[in-house]
């Protein structure tokens, strides 16, 4: 690989650039809930340019995930130019494989809602529509929202999560949210994010809740539910609420207890 390509590979893969130019533009591209890094906007993806300072002491984590990430760097021709990407697109040729360990993270916000009675009067049409559009259990979607914000459309956590579904700004941007405090936008984006997590974790609701709270990278780093008390309590809260919403909505029958 020529030296310029090596520098590009470092920028995309290692996020540690060799000396030279003062800054480079790397595109963070999102498609179907997955992130790739590229030297030019990828067709079919939603891409955001990021300026990388060669002289920065600490370079940003553009992946948006924490933990170890394995992948490949690909080269292809686009608009008469050679471009590089970590996503395999038509016409791509694999240049190299890579393993990146992104900086360690922290568990996400604990959520602002408390376990309590189901609140079926909160945005019923929006939850019903978002759940149906994404093939989700309406009771599960409501349980997440209840645990996250208590259905407060203006809620903001101490870590910056916003709205009914308490989406972090980067996640909201990935799903095209223009107003994080719009209940409709937040619920729709939250449902799409949960659908992506359901697909990733093969419908394992425990891992879905863990990733919603602590992030996909953190779940990957620990090989399952992270050992954070906050996350474990969050999962228990969501599971309890899920059952209550199922009972309230008539999709779950009450458990019969044997007479003493």
The catalytic site residues sit at 148
For tokens 């405090």, what's the residue? 181
Distance CA 219, CA 105 (A): 11
Distance CA 107, CA 168 (A): 12
Distance CA 210, CA 57 (A): 32
Distance CA 140, CA 148 (A): 12
CB-based contacts of 244-253 (< 8 A; 24+ apart in sequence): 244/117, 244/118, 244/143, 245/118, 245/120, 245/138, 245/139, 245/140, 245/142, 245/143, 245/146, 246/137, 246/139, 247/118, 248/118, 248/120, 248/139, 249/118, 249/120, 249/138, 249/139, 251/137, 251/139, 252/139
Say whether 168 sits in a helix, a strand or coil.
Answer: coil
Whether residue 163 contacts residue 153, with contact meaning beta carbons closer than 8 Å, is answered with yes
Measured CA angle at 133 (ends 127, 137), to 5 deg? 55
């Amino acid at each position: 690989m020529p030296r310029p390509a090596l520098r590009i590979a470092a920028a995309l893969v290692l996020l540690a650039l060799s000396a030279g130019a003062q800054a480079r533009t790397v595109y963070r591209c999102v498609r179907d809930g997955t992130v790739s890094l590229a030297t030019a906007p990828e067709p079919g993806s939603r891409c955001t340019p990021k300026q990388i300072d060669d002289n920065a002491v600490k370079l940003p984590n553009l992946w948006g995930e924490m933990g170890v990430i394995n992948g490949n760097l690909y080269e292809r021709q686009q608009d008469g130019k050679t471009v590089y990407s970590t996503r395999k697109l038509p016409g791509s040729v694999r240049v190299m494989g890579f393993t990146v360990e992104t900086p360690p993270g922290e568990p996400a916000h604990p959520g602002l809602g408390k376990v309590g009675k189901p609140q079926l009067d909160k945005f019923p049409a929006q939850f019903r529509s978002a759940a149906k559009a994404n093939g989700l259990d309406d009771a599960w979607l409501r349980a997440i929202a209840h645990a996250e914000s208590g259905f407060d459309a203006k809620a903001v956590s101490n870590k910056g999560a916003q709205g009914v579904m308490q989406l972090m700004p980067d996640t909201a941007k990935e799903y095209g949210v223009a107003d994080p405090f719009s209940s409709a936008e937040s619920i729709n984006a939250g449902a799409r994010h949960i659908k992506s997590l359901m697909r990733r974790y093969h419908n394992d609701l425990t891992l879905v809740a863990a990733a919603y709270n602590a992030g996909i990278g953190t779940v990957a780093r620990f090989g399952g539910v992270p050992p954070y008390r906050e996350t474990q309590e969050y999962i228990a809260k969501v599971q309890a609420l899920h059952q209550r919403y199922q009972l309230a909505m008539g999709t779950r029958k009450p458990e019969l207890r044997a007479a003493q």
